[in-house]
Amino acid sequence: MSKVSQALVTSDRIDSAKYQALVADAGAGAIVTFSGDVRNHDQGKPVTSLEYEAHPDAQQILRKVAEEVADQYEIFQVALAHRIGLIPLGETAFLVCVSAAHRQDAFAACQQIVDEVKIQIPIWKHQIFADGTDQWVNFA
């Protein structure tokens, strides 16, 4: 059975408690959660708003990356989500929850999933700054 209980690309608000509950397992001693939130600044410039755009294959790639990393660790379950569309400052853009019997596995798997998703997922981030300029992140 897949260790990835949920892998979602969604324009809805991401509720971390829901994902933590998805990976909770009465046998799990450790749950590690990463939440990537929309920041109010980037490289010193105040950000006004932020929009993510996804390729149609993004959700499938999100699941694939999570499954590949999950297979390398002694973990129970992974649940993860990436939000797209306009995201208000301070809200969650990307969430990864990992449960395991032991904390070292949960920490390592969670961090590696975050790292790999950032490299592999075909999603783009458009920032509008307070001074009216805008930017496609990683592009300019």
Partner 1 sequence: MVTVRFFAAAKAATKTNEVKISANTVEQVLALTIEKFPDLAAVLPKCSYLLNGIACSDLSTKLSPEDLLDILPPFAGG
Question: Can you point out the beta strands (E) in 11-122?
Answer: 30-37, 41-42, 45-54, 77-83, 85-87, 92-100
Tell the smallest beta-carbon distance from residue 129 to a copy of itself (Å).
15
Exactly one of 89, 126, 128, 134 binds a copy of itself (CB under 8 A); that residue is 89
| Closest to 52 in 3D by CA, of 14, 81, 87, 12 | 87
d(CA 2, CA 6): 10
Read off the amino acid at residue 26.
A
Exactly one of 10, 12, 41, 55 binds a copy of itself (CB under 8 A); that residue is 41
Out of partner 1, a copy of itself, none, what residue 37 binds, judged by CB under 5 to 8 A for its kind, is a copy of itself
Exactly one of 10, 11, 40, 60 binds a copy of itself (CB under 8 A); that residue is 40
Rg of the Cα trace of the chain?
A: 16
Tell the smallest beta-carbon distance from residue 137 to partner 1 (Å).
4
Q: CA torsion sign, 44 to 45 to 46 to 47?
A: negative
If the CB atoms of residues 1 and 128 are measured against partner 1, the closer one turns out to be 128
If the CB atoms of residues 28 and 128 are measured against a copy of itself, the closer one turns out to be 28
90 by Cβ neighbours in 10 Å (0-12 / 13-18 / 19+) ranks as exposed
Q: Interface with partner 1 by CB under 8 A: which residues?
A: 36, 52-55, 57-58, 82, 93-94, 114, 117-126, 136-139
Q: List contacts with a copy of itself (CB under 8 A).
A: 16-17, 20, 24, 26-37, 39-41, 89-90, 101, 103, 106-107, 110-111, 114
